[in-house]
């Protein structure tokens, strides 16, 4: 994960900005997937998914589908 993205995630945690946490972790997951690191991608998507669930964020279903695809969620 880039230094910049990591800083943004830490900042969003500090601000309890759950909506931003969804999009930032989603992005981190995509980058890890592009790098071929599926474990890391699923780790980030799990975080994105949980915050999306909490906020009823529209990305919820897409994140769920990705995790299911990789056998990480039911």
51 belongs to the binding site for other proteins (CB under 8 A): yes
- Helices 38-55, 60-69: inter-axial angle, 10-degree rounding: 150
Pick the binder of other proteins from 1, 5, 30, 46 (CB under 8 A): 46
48 near other proteins, rule: CB under 8 A: no
Q: Helix, strand, or coil here: 73?
A: coil
Q: Establish if 57 lies at the interface with other proteins (CB under 8 A).
A: yes
Residue 52 beta carbon to other proteins: minimum distance, rounded to whole angstroms = 7
DSSP 72: S
Q: Is 42 one of the binding residues for other proteins (CB under 8 A)?
A: yes
Q: Which two tokens stand for residue 20?
A: 């931003």
């Amino acid at each position: 994960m880039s230094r910049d993205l990591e800083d943004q995630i830490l900042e969003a945690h500090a601000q309890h900005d759950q909506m931003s946490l969804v999009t930032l972790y989603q992005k981190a997951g995509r980058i890890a997937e592009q790098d071929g690191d599926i474990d890391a991608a699923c780790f980030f998507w799990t975080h994105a998914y949980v915050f999306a669930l909490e906020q009823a964020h529209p990305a919820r279903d897409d994140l769920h589908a990705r995790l299911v695809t990789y056998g990480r969620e039911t």
